[in-house]
Amino acid sequence: MVISTTGAVVTGLGATTPLGGDAASTWAGLVAGENGIRPIEEDWAVDFPVRLAARLKVEPTEVLDRVQARRLDRCQQVALVAAREAWAHAGRPEVDPERLAVVVGTGTGGALTMLGQHDVLNASGSRRVSPLTIPKQMSNGPAAWVSIELGARAGAHTPVSACASGAEAIAMGLDLIRLGRADVVVAGGAEACVHPLTLAGFAQARAHSTRNDEPDRASRPFDTGRDGFVIGEGAALLVLERAEFAAARSARVHAVLAGSGVTSDAHHITAGSPEGQVRAMRMALSSAGLAPGQVAHVNAHATSTPVGDAVEAASITEAVGPHPAVTATKSMTGHLFGAAGALGALATVLSVRDGVIPPTRNVDDLDPGITLDVVTGRARKGPLPAALTNAFGFGGHNVSLAFTPSP
């Protein structure tokens, strides 16, 4: 086993999101500044304080086999859809199964199954509960199903760190490659928990936007009128490879995952700490061998909450400086919770590869306390020598990932 300090190369991308059923359509939607947030039309939402969400553009049941789809929770479905695309996009690497690992993070796992079967139990009794309840509700289910799909035997891991889960999964994938435990890792996040209970909980916590009559203007990171995030669903996965392994098979490299930073605040269960965020970004830069001045772009966590956006803006300024072009893609996709950091990573890979930074929607009046160079209006083009993407989660989880162009 050889321990390496180099990064991992990104050779495959897969996604299903509120903007598209694959990575390409999602990226096109981000670059165009499209809106993936829609009204909730179910009867239960009529009298709810929150009546909007960012749901999938393409239902996973349109992609997966009908029988297989019925055996999977929605969170597992989206993970499998994204994994299949990422694996095909990478050219289906021929790798020893014992050198292939999977890391798929999630915030809530099979929450829809758990809540739905609890309703069945209360309404019809224990004998009506599905025998698939346990495998469908397990938080490790998405990683397990992806590992079964690909035959991965070097480990199937599941970081559960709230909204940092998907980014932490990618950081763990980098560690596995650096530690010599895998040649290829499929890593990212999956989430699907649009449900009355989750919406009610976030509404009571005053964390979710209540701009119900204007769903296309509801998520507005860094804007003075921001009033909370918008719940979203989906998955994003990257195929990471040891650079020498990818070179030996002449794989196309989209970007390099050059470094990562993972910290915890040990501060408060929901309020983030700027100190922890700064440490994560500085750790990512150190891990990648980058100086702050080399970072041209930051894909911010920026969920559209009044306090959270301001704290992150100050943290970016302290850790990196005010010079990077910053975007907040949750303005288009909503907040995918456990998949959010993975989707941010996917967008950052494509920004670095294509030299394009997606705009931030709905910044009509930039918060005067935020001095960052926030990209608005149209996508911005230009070479990006290095970029960071951030993901922070309840519980004090902080993850920052550093990407550089393909050599």
| CATH number (domain holding residue 286) | 3.40.47.10
pLDDT of residue 407: 87
Domain contains 3? no
% residues pLDDT > 70 (the chain): 99
pLDDT of residue 5: 59
Last residue of a domain, one of 211, 231, 249: 249
Domain contains 174? yes
Per-residue burial over 317-329, b if 16 or more Cβ lie within 10 Å, else e, is bbbbeeebbbbbb
Last residue of a domain, one of 219, 249, 279: 249
Last residue of a domain, one of 187, 221, 249: 249
Round to the nearest angstrom and report the end-to-end CA distance of the chain. 25
pLDDT of residue 6: 77
pLDDT of residue 7: 82
Burial of 210 (0-12, 13-18, 19+ CB in 10 A): middle
Residues 14 and 137 in one domain: yes
User: What helix, strand, coil percent values describe the chain, rounded to 5?
Assistant: 40, 20, 40
Mean pLDDT for the stretch of residues 25-30: 98
The pLDDT tens digits of the residues spanning 362-380 come to 999 999 999 999 999 999 9
pLDDT of residue 401: 98
Lowest mean pLDDT among 75-84, 128-137, 270-279, 295-304: 270-279
Residues 244 and 369 in one domain: no
Mean pLDDT for the stretch of residues 11-19: 98
% residues pLDDT > 90 (the chain): 97
pLDDT of residue 1: 45
Residues 300 and 376 in one domain: yes
Residues 241 and 303 in one domain: no
**For residue 348, pLDDT beyond 50:** yes
Residues 298 and 272 in one domain: yes
Which tokens is 59 given?
């239902």
* Total tally of structural domains belonging to the chain: 2
Give which of 225, 199, 187 is closest to 331, Cα–Cα: 225
- Catalytic center residues: 163, 301, 335
Residues with Cβ within 8 Å of 213's Cβ and at least 6 positions away in sequence, in order, are: none
Domain contains 380? yes
Structural domain harbouring 305:
258-405
Residues 45 and 27 in one domain: yes
CA dihedral 372, 378, 379, 382 (to 10 degrees): -80
Domain contains 2? no
**Inter-residue contact 5 to 178 (CB < 8 Å):** yes
Mean pLDDT for the stretch of residues 304-321: 98
The pLDDT tens digits of the residues spanning 216-244 come to 999 999 999 999 999 999 999 999 999 99
Residues 234 and 338 in one domain: no
Query: What is the rounded average pLDDT for all residues in the chain?
Result: 97
